Amino acid sequence: VIAVDVGGTKLASGLVDDEGQLTHRERTATPRHEDLDGEQLWEALVAVVDPVAEAAGGRALAVGVGCGGPMTPGGDTVSPLNIPAWRDFPLRDRLADRYGLPAAVENDAKALALAEGWVGAAAGVDDYVAMVVSTGVGGGIVSSGRLLEGAGGNAGHIGHVIVEPDGRRCGCGGRGCLEAEVSGLAIEAITGGPPADASPELRAHVGRLVGRAVASVAALLDLRLAVVAGSVALGYGDAFFDAAQNELDERARISFARGARIVRAGCGDEGPLIGAGAVAIRALSSAP
């Protein structure tokens, strides 16, 4: 299948086989100039997907996409918060038309959750949450082996679990959401510098709040594994993961959540594309 990753900073594509192996990767920076229109962004996207489709030589069965939300259920149209050029952009049909293949579009964090369960740190686990802590905070939850959808396809938005009752204003309109406290954008706003320059104390604080959110999710959903990706979490390394695990140990006390673990995602920088491939394969296997 042809895998496509649409992000605020990069556009990427590759081929994913039925064992989750990724080949023929292409990528480019997401164009960002102010008067960028939707068609120009589309042209930039197909410039990285065309060579991959060509490399497939007619053997690809479907196109799968991981894309920032929000989107309509099923991904018919996408309006990624961090990509203003696309509002109600009909991404799925445009890809299906161009490549003559069935196409499926999914929230990027949910796609990552599929990748981690397929060939990553949650392989063989039926109940887990996968998270991305980078510019924003996203997540996807697998429960009893199924990716949770919710009424509008938005299940898993752990970034808006409240971790500080009197905390910072969140972009969603709420206050004290995890995303408002620990996203890369939040850290920049707090420190006035890039997230990579955060002090050891702040790195541990970010880990603690993520552990706090995971404790609530573990209790709510009867799960014992959180896999975490994203430049902030992975960049902060042990300072982040040790603090997150300590907080989780402290907070997750009910018997079925006790012993919950918070670990690094296993797919590395291939996760978004492997996840997009999983989205395509899932759509094929559920087709009539």
**Please, which residue, 84 or 174, has the CB nearer to Zn ion?**
174
Q: Minimum CB separation from Zn ion for residue 180, in Å?
A: 6
**Which position among 160, 203, 205, 212 is part of the footprint of Zn ion (CB under 5 A)?**
160
**Please, which residue, 129 or 257, has the CB nearer to Zn ion?**
129
Q: Please give the angle made by the CA atoms of 57, 63 and 69, to the nearest 5 degrees.
A: 150
- Tell me if 209 sits within 8 A of 175, measured CB to CB: no
Q: Which stretch binds Zn ion (CB under 5 A): 40-48, 68-76, 165-173, 249-257?
A: 165-173
- Residues 87-116 binding Zn ion (CB under 5 A) are none
Q: Minimum CB separation from Zn ion for residue 177, in Å?
A: 3
Interhelix angle for 38-56 vs 91-99, to 10°? 40
SS3 107: strand
Binding flags for Zn ion, 3-42, as an x/- string (CB under 5 A): ----------------------------------------
Task: Kindly state whether residue 232 participates in binding Zn ion, applying the rule CB under 5 A.
Answer: no
At residue 231, φ and ψ (nearest 5 deg) are -65, -35
**Please, which residue, 92 or 110, has the CB nearer to Zn ion?**
110
Buried b / exposed e over 214-229, threshold 16 CB at 10 Å, is bbbbbbebebbbbbbb
User: Is the dihedral angle over the CA atoms 125, 108, 277, 13 positive or is it negative?
Assistant: negative
Q: Minimum CB separation from Zn ion for residue 170, in Å?
A: 3
Q: Which residues contact 158 (CB under 8 A, 6 or more apart)?
A: 129, 131, 137, 138, 139, 178, 213, 214, 217
Q: Which stretch binds Zn ion (CB under 5 A): 7-15, 43-51, 153-161, 216-224?
A: 153-161
**Which position among 29, 123, 172, 196 is part of the footprint of Zn ion (CB under 5 A)?**
172
Q: Please give the angle made by the CA atoms of 142, 88 and 143, to the nearest 5 degrees.
A: 5
Task: Kindly state whether residue 182 participates in binding Zn ion, applying the rule CB under 5 A.
Answer: no
Q: Which residues contact 25 (CB under 8 A, 6 or more apart)?
A: 12, 13, 14, 273
Q: Minimum CB separation from Zn ion for residue 239, in Å?
A: 25
Task: Kindly state whether residue 174 participates in binding Zn ion, applying the rule CB under 5 A.
Answer: yes
Task: Kindly state whether residue 137 participates in binding Zn ion, applying the rule CB under 5 A.
Answer: no
β-partners of residue 262 are: 226
Task: Kindly state whether residue 70 participates in binding Zn ion, applying the rule CB under 5 A.
Answer: no
Task: Kindly state whether residue 235 participates in binding Zn ion, applying the rule CB under 5 A.
Answer: no
Binding footprint of Zn ion on the chain (CB under 5 A) = 160, 170, 172, 174, 177
